[in-house]
Homo-oligomer: A and B are copies of this chain.
Amino acid sequence: MPGDKLPTEAALAERFGVNRHTVRHGLSALVKEGLVRTRRGAGVFVAATPTDYPIGKRVRFHENLIAAGRKPEKRVLQVEERSATGGEAKALLVDEGDPICAYHGLSLSDGQPIAIFESLFPLTRLPGFTGALSETSSVTEALRMAGVSDYTRATTRLTAVRASVTQALHLQVSEGDPLLRSTGVNVDEAKTPIEYGRTWFAGDRVILTFEEP
């Protein structure tokens, strides 16, 4: 099982009657293949296979993970109402200073953090959204309560960045580790932006997939 701890190198060496160096040599091969992960002072652990995460018109993070046989989990870090900055307003097609709901969170799969995200919702179009989100803790449900029955992803922008200290902390990776940054806008049926989100995926835990039909 991913996350399980292997016997210590010394134990494996004794078990198979070989030197610890030999065990380490074998383990290094597994590390190179990405099957296990080592942590100095802690041990060797079975690596979680990178989660394939299909991107498309309808991105439903939880549903995708469930379909992949994972146990997804979402952890809310912060929900606040504030006014939109210039860039945020531009993406959401609202005016700078308009009220928005900022939703910070952490996504996990099988207990392992795989992404942190910030979602911004224009409150001018979604009255009562913040309260609904607090109650349901489901974005889709809260949007429905705010009058948006369906939404689709209009744009996706991807690049690779280094993990900052706080990002590394939340994602349980090392500072400077590569992250996949996704920026996107979701729109309602009238093509009006109703969410502007940024997501940072741990590079070694997620693979985004695009399938052309």
Contacts and interface: CB of A to CB of B under 8 A. Distances in A.
Contacts of A161: 160, 178, 203-204
Nearest to A57: B212
Interface stretch (A64-72, A89-97, A105-113, A147-155): A147-155
Interface in A190-213: 201, 203-204, 206-212
A158 interface: yes
A157 B203 contact: no
A74 interface: no
Contacts of A138: none
Interface of A (DSSP majority class): strand
A154 B203 contact: no
B208 A159 contact: yes
Interface residues of A, number: 31
Contacts of A180: 158-160, 180
Number of copies: 2
A50 interface: yes
A159 to B, nearest CB: 5
A116 interface: no
Contacts of A158: 158, 180, 207-210
A212 B154 contact: yes
Contacts of A57: 212
Nearest to A28: B28
A179 interface: yes
22 contacts: A50-B159, A56-B212, A57-B212, A152-B212, A154-B211, A154-B212, A155-B211, A156-B209, A156-B211, A158-B158, A158-B180, A158-B208, A158-B209, A158-B210, A159-B180, A159-B201, A160-B179, A160-B180, A160-B201, A160-B203, A162-B203, A178-B178
Interface of A: 50, 52, 55-57, 152-162, 176-180, 201, 203-204, 206-212
